[in-house]
Structure 1
């Protein structure tokens, strides 16, 4: 009897629990062609319960009792809220495309704005364009994809920087790279010289080019980029905006069931075109013709007396290049509730260079969180960590391996009969082996970087938002240059070792208050005032030596010579106040005014502060009544702007006076 009562109680509880929720199914389709919308999000409003449409656009979601609203969303479509009727278990949803692209919200610096209200010149790049080709560095994504922006690769080495110019060369004798801002945090400098990291001295022949700080950012984490181009748009960044501004927004969480994604890519790279080089027999004939001409006083060489006895020799250009393999993998999770959203990702990338021995790999982790704790309070954070390794080799310049291979004679083989590096030597002449030069000279760089921000948004009263944010960027790098000992005929070099360790810290604090309102349905106004301050510091230590007892241990202090020791440190800072005012009438006439007042430690005490104004007007003439019947033009805008910008990216304390102690 007891067991029977327990069975009835269990059955009652089960029925009671089942009565607390209803399973609702349905199909989500495109309103234009009726095709299923794969991956559309279905969320029960007010809960964390949701579902994702399958390959046929079908979904199934459990709706708790008392909850009767479904929120349907999909990228590129207008969000819908469906109110369920009593007992309704089937819902078919037809989504409408969000064709109002000009109402898209874009980042403009210290806030957002409707694209239709923009009066300054800017260009947007979405996730689809960023993923449009295989890239390892974020700056490479700008090549050929943004109007008015040119990007030129400074080196073929993996991990190297691209030289970015927004509307041409704006700065002549200082840093001409644009300002990069990732989720509101300033990235100091568009590119980092190899010499500042520990390369570029006599040990590596000064052949290491720029190293991109953006190579530590995983492009798969990027949602969009906005490039501010003219002075009226960049004046909001004042003394940092002379070369244009690139605003980068990373992916964030969305309300709905957790969505897991994997992105993978594999590719190969090769030199599709090479210079035509003379083989040994061809060079011998050329040399003899040169001697016969009597030009330059070149003497006859018995080695080339009978070119028919010569073989093809070694094509050093072909020898130094390889077919390079590249792979990239990322896993991510995105989801959350109406109160808390998250985006988490981990990525790994490995890219071989087309020059033998060169390689670049990166491990990256990212966490973005947003929490709406109260109607008037929102908190969030962004954090990313990257660990990258570069094996740069001697890639660049006339003293680099490419130039060395192109000017080396084809007389020597790569290896001798014992499998060691070969070197051909005869009277008054020797040939250094380019392959040995490439593989025995090592330029290694390890970088670790932690960056992100913590923010709070308060809305004390309607239409007014206070945004407070603390940003940070902490970096460490170790550059190691090591030249192995070489003992070949007529080519002997002692081993050399150089190690430089660099530390960089950057913090940024900003506060700004924004007011937005619309009056009489046609008058839209926005006002923003704020302040910002930041400080950037660096320090480094370096030690170099030669004649180490073995190539197995790369410790400069083991060298028999007196070690060369160097150290340095520096800092720069800036304090700023800024404001922006916008007015829009009937989505046709727009006006924007910005002002920024900057003070930089890089400038002298007598000229430390400067103000930067800008004005911009625009007329969206396609919204006028007389344009309604003109079908061949869908959107048009006249724009005029004026602005002031500056460039504070100069060396610190150059205004100071050198002091010398006199005994």
Structure 2
């Protein structure tokens, strides 16, 4: 009897499950935006469950809707969430409405966030929509023409090259004028790295602006938004690091809901749209004959006597420029629960340069995770690793390919009759074949970077939050220059040379700050106070080998002559900062910030400095006497600001006494290079 009852119980349970599954129905539909265009990528979740799907490229969805569930929730970035009760329907088409949250949008400021309507300092946002609408390899390229008061100028035609950013003009003539880049709260390292510091000598030119991008390691598809702090009242919170403006970069975070997998791919072609107008061979022959006649020089060349018999010759600009493909592929996953959220991505970027012999490759991986361990405790981890491989192509400088292409006469062919590279040395003229230079000489740069942070947010009492964070940026570079032993026509290099330099850099940052925010009646205010300390260390080793056994041998150790150099250094900063904000009735705003910095780059008697800032704003469109103008001016704000900033990026130990080597009659000696200045 007991056995029969057990079998009956099992049968009833199985039958109940079959009935439940039998009562689950399928709901389908199409999601469109307010212009009736299909919306791909919209998250559709059964309310109160983890059952969810994502709309396809046509905006269609198909989801299993279990018995007992009430509604579907539709969500997408830039649109209001919609909750729709299903009832007896099996087909539900949804029209998503664009969000109008510009004023209530939360934006990142130094050490915290604020509502845009409460901002008194000058800043501007570049959102994901503007970034996704650009065909770019580096995130700094997205600022070109998209941020008022920000000037962006390309410093190099090389793939992956840097863009020089100036926030409200040039602020210094001696130190670096590039802005401070902060990624998820961590100061990005590598800004202003010159070719010499990377072991490439003057091959990238000797300009004041580096052509190596400090943020080319960042994948633009991982970026959620960028906030550019422009005036001194906004950047003073960064004290001695904020003189050139601050670019706050926020990467994508996880979201609660079903896992969403995205593929983002791009393929394109590049070309140089313009050329400098140069003489062809006939025009060059006429010019050469005219010079020989007017100045009665000996440069009367018999092959130029009848220019009409000549062809167009070599167009060196067309020779060095090429149609260059570029492609990028990324796969990402985003999702989580109400308690834990994640974002994971991996990407590959390959860009050939429009100049022959140049290329840029990037591999990047990112994982961002945050979890609510307790109702009063949140843990987060952001980490990214990137590897870039660059063939810089010797494009820059007075001995670069572009310069040579403009100075090489059109009567010199690319190849001689034997198919070898041609070059000629004449009286008053020595130029290497630019194509040969591009293909035979190497200028290589490899960079790896691991950066991110680990943070903890604790809310011991309501409205008070303690944020503690450990940030890191660990990177390494390998720069190589190789000059082969070659013969081009009657020009030759008899001794080859190889130079390899490795740099290792580490940056550790630790900060704590407390934030208290409250409001009553029409008043709202917030207080923030904190402390920060960081240390940066670097070291390099360079080996130069002259006279290698052959061009296939790149090991400098095997050369007949060696040179070895090395260096190291460090810098550190300790800081204390605070901010007070007050807002009345969303009309009147006031902000005061203070920071005190101590930098090892300055002498012991001038190591610490204070930075103050004030800012105020008046949203005049909220005044009752201007309500009638809302159809003309929907949001108007007047603001004023004053602040103090500094620039500590002057190099380490410039204030101290150093020594240098010098030859003497008794051998190599040492002498003091400069006098110490503790101020």
The offset of 1:413, in angstroms, is: 1.6
The offset of 1:50, in angstroms, is: 2.9
- Aligned equivalent of 2:186: 185
Write out per-residue CA displacement over residues 388-435 of structure 1, whole angstroms, 9 at most, x where no aligned residue.
100012101221111111101122221123322123467886663221
Paired residue secondary structure (1:446): strand
- Aligned equivalent of 1:367: 367
Write out per-residue CA displacement over residues 300-338 of structure 1, whole angstroms, 9 at most, x where no aligned residue.
344433434543321212111111111111111111111
Of 74, 77, 80 in structure 1, the residue corresponding to residue 76 of structure 2 is 74
- Aligned equivalent of 1:567: 566
1:293 lines up with 2:303 in the alignment: no
Paired with 1:497 and 1:262, the residues of 2 have a C-alpha distance of 42
Paired with 2:320 and 2:484, the residues of 1 have a C-alpha distance of 18
1:49 lines up with 2:51 in the alignment: yes
Q: Aligned pair in 2 of structure 1 residues 68, 376: CA closer, same or farther (>3 Å)?
A: farther
- Aligned equivalent of 1:146: 147
Paired with 1:180 and 1:430, the residues of 2 have a C-alpha distance of 44
The offset of 1:552, in angstroms, is: 1.1
Paired residue secondary structure (2:240): helix
- Aligned equivalent of 2:112: 111
The offset of 1:4, in angstroms, is: 13
1:487 lines up with 2:490 in the alignment: no
- Aligned equivalent of 2:400: 400
The offset of 1:75, in angstroms, is: 1.8
- Aligned equivalent of 1:610: 609
The offset of 1:266, in angstroms, is: 0.8
Q: Aligned pair in 2 of structure 1 residues 74, 437: CA closer, same or farther (>3 Å)?
A: closer
Number of residue pairs the alignment of both structures matches: 657
- Aligned equivalent of 1:125: 126
Paired with 2:91 and 2:199, the residues of 1 have a C-alpha distance of 66
Paired residue secondary structure (2:215): helix
1:328·1:347 contact (CA, 8 Å) conserved in 2? Answer: yes
Paired residue secondary structure (1:542): strand
- Aligned equivalent of 1:279: 280
The offset of 1:438, in angstroms, is: 1.8
- Aligned equivalent of 1:169: 170
Q: Aligned pair in 2 of structure 1 residues 89, 402: CA closer, same or farther (>3 Å)?
A: closer
Q: Aligned pair in 2 of structure 1 residues 209, 622: CA closer, same or farther (>3 Å)?
A: closer
The offset of 1:122, in angstroms, is: 0.4
The offset of 1:18, in angstroms, is: 5.3
Write out per-residue CA displacement over residues 351-405 of structure 1, whole angstroms, 9 at most, x where no aligned residue.
1111111100101111011111111111111111111100012101221111111
Q: Aligned pair in 2 of structure 1 residues 162, 430: CA closer, same or farther (>3 Å)?
A: closer
2:404·2:432 contact (CA, 8 Å) conserved in 1? Answer: no
The unaligned stretches of length 5 or more in structure 1 are none
The answer to which of 414-423 and 254-263 deviates more is 414-423
The offset of 1:41, in angstroms, is: 2.6
The unaligned stretches of length 5 or more in structure 2 are 661-669, 673-679
2:43·2:53 contact (CA, 8 Å) conserved in 1? Answer: yes
1:486·1:492 contact (CA, 8 Å) conserved in 2? Answer: yes
- Aligned equivalent of 1:155: 156
**TM-align CA RMSD:** 2.9
Q: Aligned pair in 2 of structure 1 residues 411, 526: CA closer, same or farther (>3 Å)?
A: same
- Aligned equivalent of 2:442: 442
Paired with 2:26 and 2:516, the residues of 1 have a C-alpha distance of 41
- Equivalence map 1:447-486=2 (5 Å): 447-486=447-486
- Aligned equivalent of 1:409: 409
Paired with 1:96 and 1:548, the residues of 2 have a C-alpha distance of 68
Q: Aligned pair in 2 of structure 1 residues 28, 459: CA closer, same or farther (>3 Å)?
A: farther
2:204·2:395 contact (CA, 8 Å) conserved in 1? Answer: no
Write out per-residue CA displacement over residues 104-158 of structure 1, whole angstroms, 9 at most, x where no aligned residue.
0000111100000000000000011112221111111111110000011111011
Paired residue secondary structure (1:405): helix
- Aligned equivalent of 1:629: 628
- Equivalence map 1:156-305=2 (5 Å): 156-201=157-202, 210-294=211-295, 299-305=299-305
Paired residue secondary structure (2:254): coil
